[in-house]
Amino acid sequence: MTSEVEARSGWLSADQIRDARAQLPILYVEALPVRCDSVGSIVSVGLLLRAMPDGSISRSLVTGRVMYGELVRDALLRHLEKDLGNMAMPQIPLSMTPVSVSEYFPNPEVSGLHDPRQHAVALSYIVPVSGDCAPSQASLDLAWLTPSEASSPEMASEMTGGQHKVLLTLLASVGAL
């Protein structure tokens, strides 16, 4: 039986995505899951622990590709549910205008954001979650940190590809630094 993901026409085979990555920028969504207090201030930030393509272990934002024909809103929800579990109850923004746009390059000197596989453009969001989160799929763990802990040099050393810069940009955009 064909899985739901394989049945979607927007999903590429391993060979097709390799060829596309060699020729085109690939669109991604990135999300910083947060927990807020009763007045909407961020009290904690969720960072995943996951195995990276090079075999290393790293802290990261929720991130993933947007499939052909998929709404950005649907891609964001799909990746949040995939990484945080079905009970996370993310509050997807009403406007899909990203907080930040990040460009990752195979050459780390271009933008300071690095993905050795490809040139990727990521639409970055802050997404409050109110439910129970449990890492799933490729995620090994989920740590909830204060904004101060998440923005620390120690956490920067646990994140790869420049994602700590994206984290700082997102936190600064809402005055959480």
Ordered by start, the domain boundaries in the chain are 26-173
- Segment (H or E) for 123: strand 120-128
- Copy the structure tokens of residue 103: 């460009």
CATH match for 26-173 among 3.40.50.720, 3.90.79.10, 3.40.1160.10, 3.40.50.300: 3.90.79.10
Question: pTM of the full predicted structure?
Answer: 0.87
Say which residues have a Cβ less than 8 Å from residue 17's Cβ, sequence separation at least 6. 26
pLDDT at 27: 96
Backbone angles phi, psi at 101, to 5 degrees: -120, 125
Task: Tell me the per-residue pLDDT of 2-13, one tens digit each, with 9 for 90 and over.
Answer: 444 444 556 778
Query: What is the predicted pLDDT for the residue at 3?
Result: 45
**Each residue's pLDDT expressed in tens, for the chain with a length of 177 residues:** 344 444 455 677 888 888 877 788 899 999 999 999 999 999 999 999 988 767 788 999 999 999 989 999 999 999 999 999 999 999 999 999 999 999 999 988 888 899 888 899 999 999 999 999 988 877 889 999 999 999 999 999 999 889 999 999 999 999 988
Q: How far apart are CA 33 and CA 90, in angstroms?
A: 8
Strands 120-128 and 139-145: unpaired
CA distances from 4 to 9, 10, 70, 153 (A): 10, 11, 14, 41
pLDDT at 125: 98
- pLDDT given for residue 7 in this prediction: 46
pLDDT of 6: 46
Beta-carbon-side half-sphere exposure of residue 45 (alpha carbons within 13 Å): 27
Cα distance between residue 31 and residue 39, in whole Å = 21
